[in-house]
Amino acid sequence: MPFLTVDRENSADVELYYEDHGSGRPVVLIHGWPLDGASWERQTAALLAAGHRVITYDRRGFGRSDRPTTGYDYDTFAADLDRLLTDLDLQGVTLVGFSMGSGEVTRYLGRYGSARVAKAVLISGVPPFLLKTEDNPEGVDGAVFEGIQAAIAADRPAFLSAFLQDFYNADALPDRISPQAVQASWNVAVGASAHATLACVPAWLTDFRADLPKIDVPILVIHGDADRTLPLSATAARLPALITDTRLAVVPGGPHGLIRTHAEEVNEELLSFIG
């Protein structure tokens, strides 16, 4: 599959790996941290079977994409997404962002508009604003993110192992997520750029509240009510009041990584929304 040049660092181009399969109305899937585009395998299969064209890509620093030491902020991530949509000349796209990928979708629509976009989906999303401040009391204390950065810097493989257990609520959902599946996610995560893994953490604290009122396409928000990583009350539950045309679908018992553990529920919502 091909690569797309999106940037340059010193003497080398920065290229993103992407896959482009099927035909029909295009759906672009944007993965979460610390995984890659292959994490969408259950959604890709369902979308292709339903007759859609499906495009996945690996965020810079992750998967098979290049690993620069720059560009780990949402303005750059949105610019990378814009380059993909422009170079492939995609029209009438449904953008689907999971976890960190929800930020790309939100910032893209806030900055570049909806000329190429028909609908968008935010799954286990980051917006509107994770950091607790005086005007955002629903957010999370900044010390939590400082602790995450310290843990990654001290022992990235150990941190990722613990993180993924809570990502999937593996202790509570042994019938929905196997140890092998968690291990496979760890293999992908530990294989990502160490620099990118750490550098992405500050981006989680991006304030998307100015982007949200600019969104003028229908939005589906899917979130699990047992999300230990990005709690429903601090994220998705706030979005219907901030985006004009939004439907919130709460998945009972769904963890953060519900695109795998609750793939059938997610796919049903996704396919119904896309049409």
Parent domain of 118: 3-274
Is pTM beyond 0.95 here?
yes
Contact by Cβ (8 Å): 196, 60: yes
Query: With 80 as the cut, is the pLDDT of residue 73 above it?
Result: yes
Give percent of the chain with pLDDT exceeding 90: 99
Token pair for 86:
């422009």
* 73 catalytic per annotation: no
Return the closest-CA partner of residue 65 out of 105, 12, 106: 12
Tokens of 19: 């896959």
Number of domains in the chain: 1
What is the CATH number for 63? 3.40.50.1820
Q: What percent of the chain has pLDDT over 70?
A: 100
The phi, psi pair for 269, rounded to 5°, reads -65, -45
The answer to whether residue 227 is catalytic is yes
Question: Going by DSSP bridges, is the β-strand pair 93-98/26-30 parallel, antiparallel, or unpaired?
Answer: parallel
Q: What is the pLDDT of residue 236?
A: 98
pLDDT tier for residue 84 given thresholds of 50, 70 and 90:
very high
* Model pLDDT, residue 239: 98
pLDDT tier for residue 200 given thresholds of 50, 70 and 90: very high
58, 193, 227, 262: which is the annotated catalytic residue?
Answer: 227
Q: How far apart are CA 36 and CA 181, in angstroms?
A: 14
Q: Choosing from 39, 65, 99, 185, which is the catalytic residue?
A: 99
Active site residue 195: no
Over the stretch 130-142, which tens digit does the pLDDT of each residue have? 999 999 999 999 9
For CA atoms 82, 88, 94, 100, the dihedral sign is negative
Written as one letter, the residue type at 23 is: S
Query: Sorting pLDDT into bands at 50, 70 and 90, what band is 5?
Result: very high
| Pairwise CA distance, residues 101 & 112, whole Å | 16
pLDDT for the residue 1: 62
pLDDT at residue 17 is higher than 80: yes
Mean pLDDT along residues 17-41: 98
How much is the average pLDDT of 104-125?
98
